[in-house]
């Protein structure tokens, strides 16, 4: 999952992301997005819920989810 955070909120958002049960690893990056999170979900419905949960974190501007086929 690629996450764009508001300016000054990257570290706070990353801290929240790392505490989520479905997140296997997450780290800051430079470029179009600020955070990359590797997540696991048993199905697309669980992934949809996880995406909504991440987008609800204060400081998250937008996300893009890439699903491995």
Q: Cα angle vertex 42, ends 56, 50, to 5°?
A: 0
pLDDT (average), residues 30-58: 96
User: CA of 62: how far to CAs of 5, 42, 69, in Å?
Assistant: 7, 23, 23
Q: Is the pLDDT of residue 69 over 80?
A: no
Q: Could you give the maximum distance between any two Cα atoms of the chain, in Å?
A: 34
Q: What is the pTM of this model?
A: 0.92
Tokens of 31: 């470029």
Q: What sign has the CA pseudo-torsion 25, 12, 21, 63?
A: negative
Q: Which domains does the chain have, with CATH numbers?
A: 2-64 (3.30.70.920)
pLDDT (average), residues 23-31: 97
């Amino acid at each position: 999952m690629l996450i764009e955070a508001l300016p000054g909120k990257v570290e706070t958002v990353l801290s929240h992301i790392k505490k989520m049960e479905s997140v296997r690893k997450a780290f800051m990056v430079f470029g179009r997005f600020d955070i990359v999170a590797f997540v696991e979900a048993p199905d697309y419905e669980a992934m949809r819920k996880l995406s909504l949960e991440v987008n609800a974190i204060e400081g998250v501007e937008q996300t893009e989810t890439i699903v491995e086929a």
